[in-house]
Structure 1
Amino acid sequence: MGTRIMDDAARLLAQPPSYTDEPALHRALAHLRPHAPVSWVEAPGYRPFWAITKHADIMDIERQNDLFTNDPRPLLTIAAADDALRAQMEAGIGLSTLIHMDDPHHRDMRKIGADWFRPKAMRALKARCDELAKMYVGQMVERGSEVDFAQEIAVNYPLYVILSLLGLPESDFPRMLKLTQELFGGDDTELQRGGSTDDMLAVLLDFFTYFASLTASRREHPTEDLTSAIANATIDGQPLSDMDTASYYVIVASAGHDTTSAGIAGGLLELVRNPAELRRLQNDPSLMGTAVEEMIRCVTPVKEFMRTAQADTEVRGVPIAKGESVLLSYVSANRDEDVFDDPMRFDVGRDPNKHLSFGYGVHFCLGAALARMEMNSFFTELVPRIKDIELAGEPELSATTFVGGIKHLPIWYSLR
């Protein structure tokens, strides 16, 4: 296969704490893009992989979903976790979500929820998003002039939206929040349930148990919500397995919440750090659509996905052997100098904005329209009311190689 290109900077992509130091991470990625855009990574605890850091290469790989598959390694986890999750799935008790699947099963499963995220459904949800945005901005007024925006506002607003869509009782919201944070915070000492693979599997089992009970209830007593649609869905005339139903709920409840909360918290931080752009948005509310896209680009809540080559191939002239995995660094793609002018600048009017935060191709995020609408509703309510806003302490980011962002954002503010 020839000499492998290995660059030490690429090893940061396999170190969760790297994502808590964005300046250092972006310096490393800015080095990799021109010098080692396809770099072989051998990191302690992980199986080796190729780090892909250029926007164009990531799009090419995403287009070739038959050549580069999600199975058996859809995201970067330590080898022990890879093996444990695989064993659970083979035993029929693990979770296999849309991000784990390839066509045709992926296509069939995706269809089940697709109608709930189309424009007609989004219009129906718009009023609920607007109502909740008013409620949470109102809470900021009630709380006075200081708040940990990430934990008290950004986490809760999208949770209420997505769990309302699922039709879950409000009494279960705190439980879902805790499980979601434990699921995506498995590498973060503050958010994780524990540091072992068994702890992570226990979180997955708790999800499975909760939603298995919910499925039985919705099959016996169908309702007009997404949970019931999933519970009563069929493929080729057969109901979904317990693993498929639970997995579907988990990807909607967790990914549909945690990514959006990261986008909202990170988006506000960009406005605080760039007061001229905040004033520009206040003076021209028509920029809200492009502002939200720029927040999503800069935050990039989903840091990476993995794909595995099903045949010998190459990327940017670098040979990739059958069975080898590639890591698609969306964080890097969204700062690619060949695609974005002045990529480190936050620009509420950036257009075009070809970010890859929602992925690309057949695995493009099912809930992208909902995430955009939630963020638009929230900032449409908040931005015009801001008189003054500044940091009241240092923001803290979560340690992760998958999904995450700002976990603490203390701010001082004055609202109209």
Structure 2
Amino acid sequence: MNQRIVGEGAEVLADPAAYKDESHLHAVLAEARATEPVVRVQAPSYRPFWALLKHADIMAVERENTLFTNWPRPVLMTAESDDMQAAVGVRTLIHLDGAQHRVLRSIATDWFRPKAMKAMEVRIEELAKHHVDRMLAAGGECDFVSEVAVNFPLYVIMSLLGVPESDFPRMLRLTQELVGSDDDELKRTEPADETMNALLEMFEYFSALTASRRENPTDDMASAIANARIDGEPLSDIDTMSYYTIIATAGHDTTSSSISGGLHALIDNPDQRRALSTDLDLLPHAVEEMIRWVTPVKAFMRTAAEDTEIRGVRIAAGDSLLLSYASANRDEAVFDDPFTFDIRRDPNNHVAFGFGVHFCLGAGLARMEMKKFFAELLPRLGSIELAGEPELTATTFVGGLKHLPIRYSTAT
């Protein structure tokens, strides 16, 4: 095998701290795209993997979902965390392939179809107004992430699941601990196995919710999951708990990161904010650009089912591949001026939601939430500026801003 090993360069993809400095990260990835877009990475604490940095290669792998499987390593984690999740038996939608994936995905599909989204539109508008009202009543200064951006999508997805509002703070803590396990501020304070403890606590919570919904079915998504049948049999306990977990985390943290990162981009580009505020018909394009710009899911993993080749590089059966969405969404071969934030960008073929059979189930919901939020916020803003230094999450999977201190006034 012609194995090319990096020292610095694509190895940043296995460094959670690298994602806290986006300018440096993107500079390193841009150079790597130009010089070695398919490269073997061996980083301390991680099992080796091939990093794919080009948009075209990532799309090709996503299309070949039988040649490149999600199982057994869908997310980049340390070898220790890989082993711990395998021991627990976690099987979310991102872990599954083929018929198993199709059948389990179908349990929630109807909840995210256009008809269902239309039914939720009024509620999402109400929630957007509620959170913008609270923001503008806060006295002209706030940490937009912790006080606004994390709460709005949390309310949406937890309401959809049927989690009582009194439990929202607990769900926020657990989702942040799960996806923020590499960040010193967000991770659980217990030693070593903090991620697994957060996961087990979430499993415990949803186990009680499942029992409740099986005894007294309701019209929420939690009831649909709890009472789902495959070949006449209920889901196993681990599959049920895994299902709730992926809906709760994927439906919350990715959208909050896109909203906060989108506002940050508008602050950094006041001409773009003025144009969008003047013409809200630009929102569909602007939202896609915000999602591309932030790329809240930084990467997914695939495993080669048989020997193959990518760009002349031989990939052996069983090898892991990291699909760097963060790199693909700045690929100069696909995006004109990829490092320019452009609310009119069209086409905008970003891969932030993935592609193919594993395309994000909640993409339509995320887009609606963002459009409704900014449609409510922008006409009511007068001025807005940073009131401190923004801070990003340390991560190799899902993340974005964890602090965005802002100062603002209402429109007169």
With the length of structure 2 as denominator, give the TM-score of the two structures: 0.98
The alpha-carbon deviation at position 316 of structure 1 amounts to: 1.1
SS of the aligned residue for 2:409 comes to strand
Instruction: Report the AA paired with residue 241 of structure 2.
Output: A
Cα distance in 2 for partners of 1:51, 1:61 equals 12
Other-structure match for 1:58: 58
- Are 1:235 and 2:235 counterparts? no
1:6-405 pair list within 5 angstroms? 6=6, 8-89=8-89, 95-194=90-189, 196-405=191-400
Distance 1:214 1:3, change over 3 A: closer
Measured in 2, the distance between the counterparts of 1:158 and 1:245 equals 22
Q: 1:5, 1:36 within 8 Å by CA — same for their partners in 2?
A: no
Aligned to 1:2: 2
Cα deviations by residue, 1:21-79 (Å, 9 ceiling, x for unpaired): 00000001100111110011000000000010000000000011111111111110000
Distance 1:22 1:352, change over 3 A: same
**Deviation at residue 236 of structure 1 after TM alignment:** 1.1
Q: Which residue of 2 aligns with 1:92?
A: none
Equivalent-residue separation in structure 1 for 2:199 and 2:139 (angstroms): 38
Q: Separation in 2 of the partners of 1:157 and 1:81? A: 30
CA deviation after TM superposition for structure 1 residue 197, in Å: 4.2
Which letter maps to 1:414?
A: S
Find the residue that maps to 2:251 and give its secondary structure: helix
1:2: how far off?
2.4
Q: What per-residue deviation string (whole Å, max 9, x for no partner) do you get for residues 91-142 of structure 1? A: xxxx311011111111100000000000000001111110011111101121
SS in 1 for 2:302: strand
Question: What is the CA–CA distance in structure 1 between the aligned matches of 2:87 and 2:240, rounded to whole Å?
Answer: 19
Q: Secondary structure at the match of 2:385?
A: strand
Offset at 1:194? 3.5
What amino acid is the match of 1:4? R
Question: Cα distance, 1:195 vs. partner?
Answer: 6.8
- Tell me the distance in 1 between the aligned counterparts of 2:207 and 2:170: 15
Say how many residue pairs are matched: 411
Structure 1 stretches of 4+ with a deviation exceeding 2 A read 2-8, 194-197
Structure 1: unaligned runs, 5 residues or longer: 90-94
**Counterparts of 1:2 and 1:228, CA distance in 2:** 51
Q: What is the letter of the counterpart of residue 301 of structure 2?
A: M
For the residues of structure 1 that align with 2:100 and 2:344, how far apart are their CA atoms? 39
Matched residue type, 1:18: A
Change (3 A) 1:242 1:194: same
Determine if contact 2:3/2:40 at 8 Å carries over to the other structure: no
- Residue 74 of structure 2 aligns to a residue whose secondary structure is coil
Equivalent residue letter for 1:155: V
The amino acid that maps onto 1:141 is L
The percent of aligned pairs where both chains have the same amino acid is 63
Unaligned runs of 5+ in 2: none
One-letter identity of the residue aligned with 2:263? L
Q: CA deviation at 1:331?
A: 0.5
The CA distance in 2 between the partners of 1:4 and 1:211, in whole Å, is 44
Q: What is the CA deviation profile of residues 355-413 of structure 1, one whole-angstrom value per residue up to 9, with x for unaligned ones?
A: 00000010000000000000000000001111100000000000000000000000000
Find the residue that maps to 1:177 and give its secondary structure. Answer: helix
